[in-house]
């Protein structure tokens, strides 16, 4: 058996709908019937059964494309994205130059250590004798 739910006046439901729409605009989210139903203490099905026209309004608002009045145009977004990609490319080029310098330093250090090892052990590397025999 289902629990009894008090009748809600449509004016209260419309007020809560208005509050929810304001919140959605501020958070850049889409409204939902379930959210409004929960705010009113109803299940989704009960809300849709009692207020079908409000549920349809929310559905229409939810399926409408998000309008961005006063927001950046497509060109502005592309220019910003291009600038971001250029910055990232510069950062990666700097990182690559640093990695190359470190590899060069390690190669020189490795060569110096091999020379020190050969002189310390009095062993000559076959490849350093200068010819194939």
Among 54, 47, 45, residue whose Cα is nearest residue 17: 54
24 burial level (CB within 10 Å; 0-12, 13-18, 19+): middle
Q: Any idea what DSSP says for residue 67? A: P
CB-based burial, 42-78: b 16+ in 10 Å, e otherwise: beeeebbebbeebbebbeeeeeeeeeeeeeeeeeeee
- Digit-coded pLDDT (tens) for 38-85: 989 899 899 999 999 999 999 888 887 665 556 778 888 899 999 999
pLDDT per residue as tens digits for the range 21-40 = 898 888 888 888 998 999 89
Q: What does the alpha-carbon distance between residue 101 and residue 44 come to, in Å, rounded to a whole number?
A: 63
């Amino acid at each position: 058996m289902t629990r009894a739910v008090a009748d809600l006046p449509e004016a209260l439901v419309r007020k809560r709908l208005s509050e929810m729409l304001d919140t959605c605009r501020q958070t850049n989210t889409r409204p939902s019937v379930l959210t409004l139903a929960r705010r009113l203490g109803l299940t989704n099905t009960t809300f849709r059964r009692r207020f079908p026209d409000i549920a349809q309004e929310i559905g229409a608002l939810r399926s409408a494309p998000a309008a961005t009045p006063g927001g950046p145009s497509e060109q502005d977004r592309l220019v910003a994205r291009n600038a971001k990609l250029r910055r990232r490319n510069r950062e990666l080029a700097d990182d690559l130059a640093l990695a190359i310098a470190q590899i060069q330093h390690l190669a020189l250090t490795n060569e110096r250590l091999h020379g020190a090892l050969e002189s310390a052990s009095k062993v000559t590397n076959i490849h350093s004798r200068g010819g194939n025999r």
